[in-house]
Structure 1
């Protein structure tokens, strides 16, 4: 029995980032390592863009931040950010996998 790609990508990870963020580059490397072990749906939000002002208001000094949710969940909502399964700043592959298990 083959596992479908839909089952493999049962989680979505949203990365809140900015272009000139060194920690964000490290976070992307960690997420790449996670992807190698467990594929996921990826979404990136540049908080500097004007259309992402509400995210910038939340995470201006906290990037990188990831939200981990089920792939079929509604898009991330700044009003519900306190309920998100999230990791901030520096995180490991194991921490991300644990959040994926929670989701």
Structure 2
């Protein structure tokens, strides 16, 4: 029984698209064998695990100094509970590809790896895209 559940679990989209962190995956490998012998608690555990909502990732491509970036972060403050925020400093050598692409356009924002907006924050666009992400998760 455990092997069937483990196979289904590791083939699930959350597992394969790296939405779950390595630590979560390791925890699941440790916990599942101990809990799956209890059918009721196992079903509840799996249902709870895969019904969780995951926050989208908002990435800001920036450099220092960047007054427009600072302004954009202030505008985004009321929305910070709705996404995971990452900053990419395009001046670092490992981010050369982003420097080549965005050196004249910062701030630039991506939502879940997809271009969202540049130069100024459009709160209406951000709200629309965050709502779309919420709908996809339901």
TM-score scaled by length of structure 2: 0.53
Q: Where in structure 1 are there 5+ consecutive unaligned residues?
A: 1-5, 70-75, 77-83
The runs of at least 4 aligned residues of structure 1 exceeding 3 Å deviation read none
Aligned to 2:118: 88
Aligned to 2:55: 10
Q: Which has the higher helix share?
A: 2
Separation in structure 2 between the aligned mates of residue 34 and residue 86 of structure 1, nearest angstrom: 15
Larger RCO: 1 or 2 (CA < 8 Å, sep 6+): 1
Separation in structure 1 between the aligned mates of residue 61 and residue 126 of structure 2, nearest angstrom: 15
Aligned residue pair count: 82
Q: Where in structure 2 are there 5+ consecutive unaligned residues?
A: 1-51, 134-138
**Deviation for aligned residue 1:98:** 1.5
Aligned to 1:100: 130
Separation in structure 2 between the aligned mates of residue 64 and residue 56 of structure 1, nearest angstrom: 12
Aligned to 1:29: 74
**Deviation for aligned residue 1:101:** 2.6
Cα displacement string for residues 29-62 of structure 1 (whole angstroms, at most 9, x for unaligned residues): 1221221xx4211111010111111100000000
TM-score scaled by length of structure 1: 0.69
Contact 1:67 1:86 in 2 (8 A): yes
